[in-house]
Amino acid sequence: MLHQGSCHCGQIAFEVEGDFTEGLDCNCSLCRRRGGLLAFVPADAFRLKTPENALSTYRFNTRVLQHHFCANCGIAPFSDGQNGEGAATKAINLRCLPDMDLDALKITKWDGAHH
Ligand SMILES: [Zn+2]
């Protein structure tokens, strides 16, 4: 299923293909502060609809992951990273998909603090 996603003000908008039934609630030092509910998709399941230069990017720790956010409204809709095989992967904040029924998601605790 194709979902539309965005930050709050709309400077960042995207669409992502996926049948999301589960959201990861991560306890790393970033996620515990900003909230969010993550799902990982291959990069080719994702299409950015707004200009690349609307993305502000935060890196920490190993600096491998690129946590994108909107400098205007402060919302962080997705991050760029790699899976265990080195393939480009997006971490989608499912809270930024307005059509997503968040209450229907199975919430899985993800121990990002120790990964
Ligand atoms: Zn915004």
Sign of the four-CA dihedral 9, 14, 20, 22: negative
**pTM exceeding 0.95:** no
Upper half-sphere CA count for residue 20 (Cβ side, 13 Å): 30
CA of residue 8 to ligand 1 center, whole Å: 5
CATH architecture assignment, domain 2-20+37-99: Beta Complex (2.170)
pLDDT value, residue 73? 98
CA of residue 12 to ligand 1 center, whole Å: 6
- The C-alpha atoms of residue 34 and residue 95 are separated, in whole angstroms, by 12
Query: Which tens digit of pLDDT belongs to each residue from 59-77?
Result: 988 878 899 999 999 999 9
CA 55-60-64 angle, 5° bins: 75
User: DSSP states of 78-93 as a string?
Assistant: EEEEE-TTS-EEEEEE
Query: Which tens digit of pLDDT belongs to each residue from 31-46?
Result: 999 999 999 999 999 9
CA of residue 39 to ligand 1 center, whole Å: 20
